[in-house]
Structure 1
Amino acid sequence: MSEPTSMRLPLLFAGFLCIATPVMAKEAAVSPIRVNQMGLLANAAKLAILPASATQPLDWSLRDAGGQVVASGKTIVTGDDAASGQHLHRIDLSAVTMTGEGFTLAAGGAVSRAFAIGTGPYGRLKRDALAYFYHNRAGIPIEARFVGAAWARPAGHEKEIAPCYGGKDEGGNDWTACGHSLNVTGGWYDAGDHGKYVVNGGIALWTLLNLAERQTLKGKAPAFPDGTAAIPEAGNGVNDLLDEARWQMEFMLTMQVPDGSRMPLPLGPQDGSKRLNFTQDVDISGMAHHKVADERWTGLPLPPHMDKERRFLYPPSTAATLNLAATAAQAARIWKTIDPAFAERCLVAAVRAWKAAVRVPDALATSNFDGSGGYGDKDVADEFFWAHAELLITTRHAVFTQAVTGSSFFGRDTLAEPSWAQTSSLGALSLALHPDALAEADSARIRAAILRTADLYAGEAADSGYAQPMGPKAYGWGSNSGLMNRALILAYAHDLSGQGAYRDRVVDVADYLLGRNPLDISYVSGYGARAMQRPHHRFWAHVLDPKLPPPPPGVVSGGPNGGDSLGDEARKRIGPCAPQTCWKDDIDLFTVNEVTINWNAPLVWLTAWLDEG
């Protein structure tokens, strides 16, 4: 397989680091036939898509690098497709067993660009996708020896000791600052801004930890054995994936409120306006602050070490507290034999957080603050289920068994699409990895729900012109994340059943991300002839300041947004669009081209899973 065409990133091979200079790619012309720009997997279904007005099947032929026809057939007319706004033909190459480079596909007078058939780019892409997290670490210099000189930068928000926010918010509410400051140095910047959010960090952290735990429990070779990732901790005897995850876990622990802390908080549902009703003297001990972030929004570009805004701890929330409880419980069992002292610290924090959430179950986050994302959540029942599941697996305590089996989420036939706002599926997937945590009949219910959900997604893929497990109305903000998290459930279904059809649907999502989509765009930087290069990011802002770098390879865009959240500016710049085409590679358009930790985390998970073979 060829190297990414748009830029080069350090790769770690046999103990040494090769560093090259990044360059912005000249964008290739649109291919009339859509195919994964990095190549098709030899051991999976292989599809290409032809947008064409013909209503009858067309002849197609596949030629090798020497120009010889090695396969041929008729297209399958799938017709008008609501998600793409195109009339489509499907070309099924699954019967092709040849591997190599330089294949071209012709159909209806159109010819594709050259592509490969083989193992795919996933071994390399999983490393680049994981490198996203080191690039976006706070509180530590990002060193040239790991990322190359172009991406190196001083530490952002070094020695970050933040006070609690106090004063009037955008709704005119007067917040009383809590009486403590916390050293919250470290963690990952969430997205294009410099905020650090516990709820977004929680699902991103869970995803990386779940990958490591799954591979261990299923006897798979680790995706990132010690010394294979370009991070400072490589060589310490610990799986590099866990080293990167621990950087965030340590930060999450620092966001926990000290004992004896009290403050006024708005509790329960509010009236929908920005005016809030406060309950006085709430005991917030053991809760987690929702975020640490800038007082005011900053503009682009802005390297993190040049961010001069005041930083505050924003009020604790029940959702953040349960994110801490869930991930700390998960970490406690994973590090139990690796670092028992750290594992015990995590477990103590998890139990404290759970007790705090039970005591204050309705501290709902507000979006009233300038300078950072709100991540408001009006229903935290899903976070309770997730936290109870993780605590049950780790402690095996009867109180958590009762909480899990008594939850409305436990009785449901299907799982919800995982997201920062809907985390119940995370608990179900963790329980599937630990069937002995529940009675066999209860574990069977979890497994059945996973398989039924996967079947629903597979049905949606069958109805989709581009074979994606998501209906046209679901392409909202972060649609690529939605696809990847659905693919994660499909991967679990394959693990549980061994049915190859589930794996093929995961491959469909990877193919879509890497170019088999109506825009002929690879949404992953550095991978493909037409790869995303202008994410909404304050440091990867070469298009705004030539002294700053473009994104490194392995960064996934949020993707098309055909929903109400697209926004006026994006709508103006993009123009009329079908759901899968409401996207533009524009650094200003955060509703379509933002990048985040909770979107790159499932990219790591899926590429590592596909790399297992």
Structure 2
Amino acid sequence: MTERRPLVQINTSFPGTEVAAETAATIASTYLVFRKIDSSYSKSLLKHVEQLFNFADTYRGSYSASIPQVQGFYNSSGYADELLWAATWLYHATGDLDYLKYVTEQNGSAFANWGSPSWFSWDDKHAATKVNLVLNVQSCQNGLIWVEEWNCLQHAMSSAFLAVLYSDYMVTSQTEMLYCDGKIYKPEDLRSFSISQADYALGKNPMKMSYLVGYGGNYPQQVHHRGSSIPVDADTGCRDGFKWLYSPDPNPNVAVGALVGGPFQNDSYMDIRNNSKQGEPSTYNSALIVALLSGLVSTSSVPKHL
């Protein structure tokens, strides 16, 4: 593809707290991976994490206000949750109680909405910050967690990831059970729930379709993705892609590893390229299923038969 890809930036005049804080959270988690195997690299990561967080917190402002052209696609509902999310990761990385106080005291009452349910998504980090397990919710007819019709797998994968994460915490902390909404759950219950969501996404569903592109023998062929649907040698501009958008042919480039939006609540899926509600993949979808599958195969509470 030969179209222009202009770059934009956030700075002190045009802040983007969500972007800076989310990046800080990401690098803080990377620091935790490398701190025992590469001390020099991990120290550099931690230095930049703290700089990014200070920038995000000092120059508060929504990135979608500073960069208005994104408002029609990824308009932010607010930056407060990203600040809490980043501070939580910084506390986990450093053990500095100031970051814990930032979340629980200084900004918790103003930003956290502790008593209100929320979802872990690209735009909302409250559930992940609280490590709040969401089990008592609507589902598809065959068991997939279902919140809304636009990109439903985002919520299913995030709920499953938080469940497997918390099940691991229960095992390592020797917490035998969790009491939630009048029901008792053991670590294996949470893990079974997580496995059921992963199984559904990978093909154990009424459509017998893997929603992870490239996995299995039956996966979406008309993914709503420009790089996947336009031939690699096409000489095209930004507005020239409609002939491929409405083409009945499968995508010429397979977006291996992309997790699409997923089914409607009746478990149906329409594999049509302009069906962006169901067929649009995203980096945050793929990140969630990678996290979920990694947790299922590598954490301390993995059953022996896996």
Within 2, Cα distance between the matches of 1:585 and 1:466? 20
1:610–1:329 Cα change, 3 Å: closer
Amino acid at match of 1:484: M
Within 2, Cα distance between the matches of 1:335 and 1:460? 37
Deviations 1:323-371 (A, max 9, x none): 122222332333223333332222222222222222222344237317x
Within 1, Cα distance between the matches of 2:141 and 2:266? 13
Deviations 1:561-605 (A, max 9, x none): 6xxxxxxxxxxxxxxxx6643x42122332321111111112112
Equivalent of 1:460 in 122, 130, 137? 137
Contact 1:536 1:587 in 2 (8 A): yes
Task: Report the alpha carbon displacement of residue 520 of structure 1 after superposing the two structures with TM.
Answer: 4.0
Matched with 2:125 is: 423
Equivalent of 2:226 in 538, 544, 556? 538
Contact 2:222 2:251 in 1 (8 A): no
Matched with 1:368 is: 68
Matched with 2:175 is: none
Matched with 2:239 is: none
Deviations 1:479-536 (A, max 9, x none): 1111111111221232234532222211221232233445443322344453222212
Task: Report the alpha carbon displacement of residue 547 of structure 1 after superposing the two structures with TM.
Answer: 11
Contact 1:475 1:560 in 2 (8 A): no
Equivalent of 1:558 in 258, 261, 266? 261
1:522–1:394 Cα change, 3 Å: closer
Equivalent of 1:608 in 264, 274, 294? 294
Alignment of 1:553-592 (within 5 A): 553-560=256-263, 580-581=267-268, 583-592=269-278
Contact 2:120 2:159 in 1 (8 A): yes
Contact 1:335 1:343 in 2 (8 A): yes
Contact 2:118 2:126 in 1 (8 A): yes
Matched with 2:176 is: none
Deviations 1:265-285 (A, max 9, x none): xxxxxxxxxxxxxxxxxxxxx
Matched with 2:27 is: 328
Equivalent of 2:8 in 300, 313, 316? 313
1:337–1:512 Cα change, 3 Å: closer
Amino acid at match of 2:4: E
Alignment of 1:27-46 (within 5 A): none
Shifted more, 408-417 versus 535-544: the winner is: 408-417
1:345–1:585 Cα change, 3 Å: same
SS at match of 2:7: strand
2:100 maps to 1:405: no
Higher share of residues assigned strand: 1
Within 2, Cα distance between the matches of 1:579 and 1:464? 6
RMSD: 3.2
Within 1, Cα distance between the matches of 2:296 and 2:156? 15
Task: Report the alpha carbon displacement of residue 414 of structure 1 after superposing the two structures with TM.
Answer: 7.5
Matched with 1:123 is: none
Within 1, Cα distance between the matches of 2:29 and 2:95? 13
Contact 1:475 1:580 in 2 (8 A): no
Amino acid at match of 2:222: R
Contact 1:466 1:516 in 2 (8 A): no
TM-score normalised per structure 2: 0.72
Within 1, Cα distance between the matches of 2:228 and 2:63? 33
Contact 1:535 1:595 in 2 (8 A): yes
SS at match of 1:311: coil
Amino acid at match of 1:531: Y
Aligned length: 261
1:579–1:421 Cα change, 3 Å: farther
Contact 2:62 2:76 in 1 (8 A): no
Amino acid at match of 1:503: R
Within 1, Cα distance between the matches of 2:189 and 2:203? 21
Within 1, Cα distance between the matches of 2:96 and 2:166? 28
SS at match of 1:531: coil
Amino acid at match of 2:3: K
SS at match of 1:595: coil
Contact 1:468 1:509 in 2 (8 A): yes
Shifted more, 401-410 versus 387-396: the winner is: 401-410
Amino acid at match of 2:128: L
Within 1, Cα distance between the matches of 2:214 and 2:119? 28
Higher share of residues assigned helix: 2
Task: Report the alpha carbon displacement of residue 312 of structure 1 after superposing the two structures with TM.
Answer: 2.2
SS at match of 1:592: helix
Contact 1:487 1:505 in 2 (8 A): yes
SS at match of 2:64: coil
Contact 1:368 1:374 in 2 (8 A): no
Alignment of 1:13-52 (within 5 A): none
Contact 2:223 2:272 in 1 (8 A): yes
Instruction: Give the unaligned 5+ runs of structure 1.
Output: 1-305, 430-449, 562-577
Within 2, Cα distance between the matches of 1:399 and 1:460? 35
Contact 1:534 1:550 in 2 (8 A): no
Amino acid at match of 1:589: N
2:253 maps to 1:598: no
SS at match of 1:334: helix
Within 1, Cα distance between the matches of 2:251 and 2:196? 34
Amino acid at match of 1:602: L
Task: Report the alpha carbon displacement of residue 413 of structure 1 after superposing the two structures with TM.
Answer: 5.7
Alignment of 1:116-155 (within 5 A): none
Within 2, Cα distance between the matches of 1:547 and 1:532? 9
Contact 1:365 1:374 in 2 (8 A): no
Moved beyond 4 Å, runs of 4+: 542-548
Deviations 1:75-105 (A, max 9, x none): xxxxxxxxxxxxxxxxxxxxxxxxxxxxxxx
1:553–1:400 Cα change, 3 Å: closer
Task: Report the alpha carbon displacement of residue 415 of structure 1 after superposing the two structures with TM.
Answer: 6.4
Instruction: Give the unaligned 5+ runs of structure 2.
Output: 172-185, 232-243, 299-305
Amino acid at match of 2:145: P
1:373–1:331 Cα change, 3 Å: farther
Within 2, Cα distance between the matches of 1:598 and 1:340? 29
Within 1, Cα distance between the matches of 2:51 and 2:69? 27
Task: Report the alpha carbon displacement of residue 558 of structure 1 after superposing the two structures with TM.
Answer: 1.2
Within 1, Cα distance between the matches of 2:250 and 2:260? 22
